[in-house]
Amino acid sequence: MKDPFYPSYVELSKSAFQQNISFLKNYIGKEVLFSSVIKGNAYGHGIKYFVPMAEECGIRHFSVFSSDEAREASRASTCGDTHIMIVGMVSNEVIAWAIERDVSFFIFELDRMHAAIREAQRIGKPARIHLHLETGMNRLGLDPDNFEDISRLFKKHRKLLRLEGICTHYAGAESVGNYVRIQEQIEKFREYTSWFEDQDIEAQYYHTACSAAALNYPETIMDMVRIGIAQYGFWPNRETYMNFVKRYPNIQAEHKDPLKRVISWKSKVMSTKKVPAGEFIGYGNTYLTSRDEQIATVPIGYAHGFGRNLTNVGIVLINGERAPVAGLVNMNLLTVDITDIPDVTKGDEVVIIGTQGEQEMTVASFSEMRNFMNYEVLVQIPSTLPRYIV
C-alpha cells in the first residue's frame, strides 16, 4: 500500500539486487569479502530500506562514509553478525561510540590513531581499525612519513588495536586516462604493505578495489572489495562497460547486461488540462503551444531532483509512452505534453526513472539530459520519499 501523503515514491527491486550480487560475487571470487558501499543514503536508494534488503540477500558487511550513516545503518540492520565500516568522517568524540558497537573505521592521520588508542584504553575494548595509505590520490591517507610513527604506536598498543585492514583508494579507476596513475598507486600499495609486513604488522584484509577498480583492474581484487555503484545495477561509466565487454565478449554476444537496475522512481498524474494553440504554459514564455494540446501536471519539480535544466527537454513515461516536459520545471511540479497519449487521466502512474510497458527511462538517459553522472542523479532523489521493496 503506497502512502498517499507523498507526491512520489521509490521502488527497490530485490530480485535485481540479488542478480547483481550473484554476478559480482562470481566475478570477484566467493572467498573475497564483499563490502556493500551505502554512502550517500545508499546512492539514493535509502539506507534504512536498503540494508535489510541487502541482508536478506546475504550481505553482512557495509561501508559508509561517516558516523551518522553508520548509526543509521546500525539501526536498520536486522542481523546480529552484520559489520559496518566507516571509510571517512568520524570525529574523535564519536570514536568511543564506534568502538563500543564494533564499528570499524579508517585511520588516515596520526590524530585519529591517538584518539582510537585513548578511547580503547578508556573503554577497555580494542578499536577495529583499517590503515588507509596514501598512494597517489592525495586526498586522505597516511603518508610514508607517518609509517614509522604508526608502526611504533601499533606495536606499543597492540592489545588496544585490532588491525582489520590495510587499504587505499584509486584516483579514477573508471577512466583509461588515469591508467598510469592507477598503476603507480598499485605499485606503491604493494611496496607499502611489504614495509608493514617487514615490521610484523599484518592485516586481516587488504582492500583497494571499488566498483571501477574491480571491473577494470582485476589485480586490485584482494581480500575485500568495496562495491558501490555496480551493486545498484550501474556501470561506473560507459567506458568501464565497454572494457568489460572486450574481456568477456560473451556478454555482448548475448546482448545481455548482467547488471540490473535496482531503483525505480514513480509519481502520478496530478491533473490534466486542455490548452489552445498559441498559448504559453506555466511561468514565463519558454513554451508556446503550436496546436491544441493536452497537458498533464506531475507533482515533481526541482525540489525533488528533477532539475530546471530539464525544462522542455525532460521526459517521463505515462501509459507506456514518452511524455515530454512542456514549460519550466517548477519547484514542486512539472507540466508534460500528453496530446499524443490517449486516455490519460488523473492518478495515472508516471515513471521518472524505470520501466513502463516497453519503454524505459534509465538513470543514464536522465543523467545525460541533466549533464550529470549516474551518481549525482541518484543521490539527489529526496531521502524523505518512501521506498518500497518489490
Q: What one-character-per-residue DSSP string does 292-349 give?
A: -EEEEEES--GGGT--GGGTTT-EEEETTEEEEB-S---SS-EEEE-TTSTT--TT-E
What pLDDT was estimated at residue 363? Answer: 81
What pLDDT was estimated at residue 249? Answer: 83
pLDDT in tens, the chain (390 residues): 789 999 999 999 999 999 999 999 999 999 999 999 999 999 999 999 999 999 999 999 999 999 999 999 999 999 999 999 999 999 999 999 999 999 999 999 999 999 999 999 999 999 999 999 999 999 999 999 999 999 999 999 999 999 999 999 999 999 889 999 999 999 999 999 999 999 999 999 999 999 999 999 999 999 999 999 999 999 998 889 888 988 888 876 666 789 999 999 999 999 999 999 999 999 999 999 999 999 999 999 999 989 898 999 999 999 999 999 999 999 999 999 999 999 999 999 999 999 999 999 988 766 666 556 678 889 989 999 999 999
Q: How many CB atoms lie within 10 A of CB 379?
A: 16
Residue 271: strand, helix, or coil: strand
What pLDDT was estimated at residue 255? Answer: 62
Statement: the pTM of the whole predicted model exceeds 0.85: yes
What pLDDT was estimated at residue 367? Answer: 62
Query: What are the φ/ψ torsions at residue 326 (nearest 5 degrees)?
Result: -125, 100
HSE (side-chain half, CA atoms, 13 Å) at 94: 14
Given a contact cutoff of 8 angstroms between Cβ atoms, the answer to whether 289 and 260 are in contact is no
What pLDDT was estimated at residue 368? Answer: 63
What pLDDT was estimated at residue 370? Answer: 58
Comparing CA positions, the residue from 239, 221, 224, 209 lying closest to residue 364 is 239
Q: What is the DSSP secondary structure assignment for residue 281, as one 8-state letter?
A: -
Quote the cell numbers at residue 253: 554476444
Taking every pair of C-alpha atoms in the chain, what is the biggest distance, in angstroms? 81
What pLDDT was estimated at residue 362? Answer: 83
